[in-house]
Amino acid sequence: MTVNGSIYWAGGPDDLIAQQVTNDLNTAWIQGKNKIDTFAADSLGGQLGGVGPVGKTIVPGVYTENVLNLATGWVATFDANDDPNAVFIIRVTTSFSDSGILATPSEIKLARGAQAKNIWFVIGSAASIGTGTIWNGNILAGGTITISGGSTVTGRLLAGAAGAGAFTMTTTAPAAITINVPE
């Protein structure tokens, strides 16, 4: 696993930093869950992406889905419409699952000024990122986050907002995981 950024955990050598991260996670969690929807509930139809090089285009705003999936090989393109400050919040009441595999990985693309640091997934319980997925965006999960081998994540991964959660990593050699934390 390659991490271009930092990893903190409770009880570790940087426990004060971990506590501040936990406090910030809880604040972001509450703010994310309380945002007013820009679009009708379940307007994404439970599927984040679509087929083809662009897949489904997501525009800035606040979305709420009961369950959300990103199918194998599908693409979600976040389009900021040339606004580098555009914010995307995707709230998922229960869980998020990406079923990407190395042969046909899923992908979250950025278009026209979209930035990974401005894309927020607020997940009620667990989130899983499939094998080989190219992920751009931050995940605030109420429970666990699982990242499978061969994936590249540009964003922050914060788990346990709804109580006792854990960050888990599932890897299969020789597939490496790369996590890049945006400035």
Q: Tens digit of pLDDT for each residue in 71-90?
A: 999 999 999 999 999 999 99
Please provide the average confidence, as pLDDT, over all residues in the chain. Answer: 83
Q: Is the pLDDT of residue 64 over 60?
A: yes
- How many other CB atoms are found less than 10 A from the CB of residue 36? 6
Q: HEC string of the chain?
A: CEEECCCCCCCCCCHHHHHHHHHHHHHHHHHHHHCCCCCCCCCCCCECCECCCCCEEECCEEEEECCEEECCCCEEEEECCCCCCCCEEEEECCCEEECCCCCCCCEEEEECCCCHHHEEEEECCCEEECCCCEEECEEEECCCEEEECCCEEECCEEECCCCCCCEEEECCCCCCCEEECCC
Q: Which residue has the higher pLDDT, 65 or 180?
A: 65
pLDDT band for 169, please (50, 70, 90 cuts): very low
Residue indicated by tokens 């285009």:
57
Q: Which residue has the higher pLDDT, 80 or 162?
A: 80
Q: What is the structure's pLDDT at 170?
A: 43
Q: In what order do the strands lie in the sheet with 127-129?
A: 68-70, 96-98, 127-129, 145-148, 167-170
Q: With a cut of 70, say whether residue 2 has pLDDT above it.
A: no
- Please determine, for residue 48, whether its predicted confidence score (pLDDT) is greater than 80: yes
